[in-house]
Amino acid sequence: MEIIQTIQPALPYVQIVLSILLIAAILLQQRGSSLGGAFGGDNFSSAFHKRRGSELFLFQFSIGAAILFVLATFLNMLV
């Protein structure tokens, strides 16, 4: 319990940093599908897309940041 008491003052700041990183990672990801697909247009290029390089890194980073944000939130609720 002493570890939780020492982390408690920093948790709001950790959540703020994680939320900013998560928002940035989501906004930097490219959109693969166009708006024409929503209205019935042919969009065969977006049927299959493999993430590579920086796109894969941003995708995995956003998942990791989301998991850390949820854990920090639950930890903040316990304290």
Supply the pLDDT for residue 40: 56
**Tens of pLDDT, residue by residue, the chain (79 residues):** 788 788 889 999 999 999 999 999 999 987 655 555 555 555 555 566 788 898 899 999 999 999 999 999 998 998 8
Supply the pLDDT for residue 51: 83
Q: How far apart are CA 56 and CA 50, in angstroms?
A: 9
3-state DSSP call for residue 9? helix
3-state DSSP call for residue 49? coil
Supply the pLDDT for residue 57: 93
Supply the pLDDT for residue 41: 55
C-beta of residue 28 within 8 angstroms of C-beta of residue 55: no
Longest CA–CA span in the chain (Å) reads 59
